């Protein structure tokens, strides 16, 4: 746990600079207040539009739009209708994800159990090499191709439905974060 003070100092600066998702700050503060844990990275969940040259080509990707809050389909529709590039654009919903360094395997198991009880079903030990790191992650996910070679494939009506589903997923994530916070407060 020797790096905890450095990570907490960096986190405070990132919060001050507006670089941390507002919805996840309480969770980070709760975890970091516990003796056996500290967080290293996080995302509260988001809706993004990403431009890709090829499937799996994350290195050459470009974020066109990103929101940690619900979105209006009109904003997304405008972006894809005005797009003039030749790459692909995907609409993606990412679940929340939190990386937590744990003091030992026992504290890691406890955190995984609490996370799963809170709805974060994909939570697991992420690394055992240098530090024991738990990844708290949920199941909400959506990846939809919208544009390829300048052609917009979904109709406006279809996009309305997809954005509604994306917003519902974000709302589910928000409720799971609230449940996680409630359960984390009870860790001794």
pTM of the model as a whole: 0.89
Residue 166 is predicted with a pLDDT of 98
Q: What is the pLDDT of residues 56-102, one digit of tens each?
A: 767 778 999 999 999 999 999 999 999 998 899 999 999 999 999 99
Residue 7 has pLDDT above 80, yes or no: yes
pLDDT at position 118 is 97
Closest Cα partner for 146 from 61, 83, 68, 75? 83
Average model confidence (pLDDT) for the chain?
93
pLDDT value at position 1? 65
What are the residues whose beta carbons fall under 8 Å from the beta carbon of 14, sequence distance 6 or more?
20
pLDDT band of 175, cuts 50, 70, 90:
very high
- Output the pLDDT for position 5: 83
Question: Which pLDDT belongs to residue 56?
Answer: 73
Burial class of residue 55 in the structure, from the number of CB atoms within 10 Å of its CB (0-12 exposed, 13-18 middle, 19+ buried): exposed
Q: Retrieve residue 113's tokens.
A: 């159990």
Contact yes or no for 99/42 (Cβ under 8 A):
yes
Which is higher by pLDDT, 85 or 181? 181
d(CA 32, CA 42): 13
DSSP element (H, E) containing 88: strand 88-94
Label residue 136 exposed, middle or buried (CB < 10 Å: 0-12, 13-18, 19+).
buried
Residue located via tokens 């697991």: 124
Statement: residue 162 has pLDDT above 90: yes
Whether the per-residue pLDDT at 188 is higher than 90: the answer is no
pLDDT for 111: 98
Structural domains of the chain ordered from first start: 4-184 (3.30.1960.10)
Q: What is the predicted pLDDT for the residue at 11?
A: 87
Give the span between the Cα atoms of 143 and 67, in whole angstroms: 15
- More confident call, 188 vs 154: 154
Q: Determine the average pLDDT of the residues in 134-162.
A: 95
What region does 8 belong to: left with phi over 0, alpha with psi -120 to 50, or beta? alpha
For the chain, helix, strand, coil in percent to 5 are 40, 30, 30
How much is the pLDDT for 60? 77
């Amino acid at each position: 746990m020797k790096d905890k003070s450095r990570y907490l100092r960096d986190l405070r600066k990132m919060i001050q600079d507006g670089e941390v998702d507002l919805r996840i700050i309480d969770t980070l503060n709760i975890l970091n207040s516990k003796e056996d844990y500290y967080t290293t990275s996080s995302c509260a969940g988001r809706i993004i539009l990403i431009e890709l040259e090829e499937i799996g080509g994350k290195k050459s990707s470009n974020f066109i739009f990103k929101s940690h809050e619900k979105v209006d389909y009109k904003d997304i529709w405008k972006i894809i209708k005005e797009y003039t590039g030749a790459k692909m654009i995907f609409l993606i919903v990412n679940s929340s994800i939190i990386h937590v360094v744990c003091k030992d395997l026992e504290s890691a198991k406890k955190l995984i159990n609490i996370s799963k009880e809170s709805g974060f079903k994909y939570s697991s030990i992420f690394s055992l090499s240098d530090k024991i790191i738990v990844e708290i992650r949920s199941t909400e996910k959506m990846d939809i191709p919208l544009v390829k070679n300048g052609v917009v494939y979904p109709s406006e009506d279809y996009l309305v439905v997809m954005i509604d589903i994306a917003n519902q997923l974000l709302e589910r994530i928000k409720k799971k974060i609230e449940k996680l916070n409630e359960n984390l407060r009870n860790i001794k």
